[in-house]
């Protein structure tokens, strides 16, 4: 009988999050030019008519990345109600949102602190939300401890 609690059989890290995109070049430009990510690798499956682009910060061996999936014959997608968002860390959230706005990025929630419930105390993180070219939500979370 296998030990199902052994480290070898328990997942140990997030590899990537996949999002489907309608215009691969537009999406790569958005994540690269506005969010500072780098294309890490590309896989093209001509017979199945799709391309995968892995994009992120740093390398895939120690960082979670995004997989942009471009199905060649698909013109649009419905996000449904199950998808939430991708969260990215930023040191200066107000400056980041100014920069993104100047680049034409849609800010859907202006930067500001999370509201604390009346019965809670303490500070909450400062966040903002933006959208990528396909309407996927991206949360920016300020980490000014750097």
Q: Are 42 and 53 in contact (CB under 8 A)?
A: yes
For this structure, is 125 an active site residue? no
Residue from 120, 123, 131, 139 carrying the catalytic annotation: 139
Burial grade of 16 (CB within 10 A; 0-12, 13-18, 19 or more): middle
- Is 72 within 8 Å of 49 (Cβ atoms)? yes
Phi, psi of 143 (to 5 degrees): -130, 95
The closest of 110, 111, 64 to 92, measured between CA atoms, is 111
CB 136 within 8 A of CB 85: yes
Q: What residues are annotated to the active site?
A: 139
């Amino acid at each position: 009988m296998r030990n199902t609690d052994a480290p070898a059989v328990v997942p140990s890290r997030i590899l990537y999050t996949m999002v489907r995109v309608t215009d691969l070049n537009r999406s790569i430009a958005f994540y690269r030019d506005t969010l500072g990510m780098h294309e890490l690798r590309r896989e093209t499956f001509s017979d199945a008519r799709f391309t995968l682009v892995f994009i992120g910060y740093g390398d895939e061996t120690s960082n979670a990345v995004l997989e942009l999936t471009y199905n060649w014959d698909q013109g649009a997608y419905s996000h449904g109600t199950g998808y939430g968002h991708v969260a990215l860390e930023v040191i200066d959230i107000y400056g980041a949102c100014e920069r993104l706005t100047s680049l034409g990025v849609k800010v859907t929630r202006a930067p500001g602190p999370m509201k604390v419930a009346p019965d809670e105390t303490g500070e909450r993180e400062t966040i903002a939300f933006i959208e990528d070219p396909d309407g996927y939500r991206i949360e920016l979370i300020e980490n000014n401890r750097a």
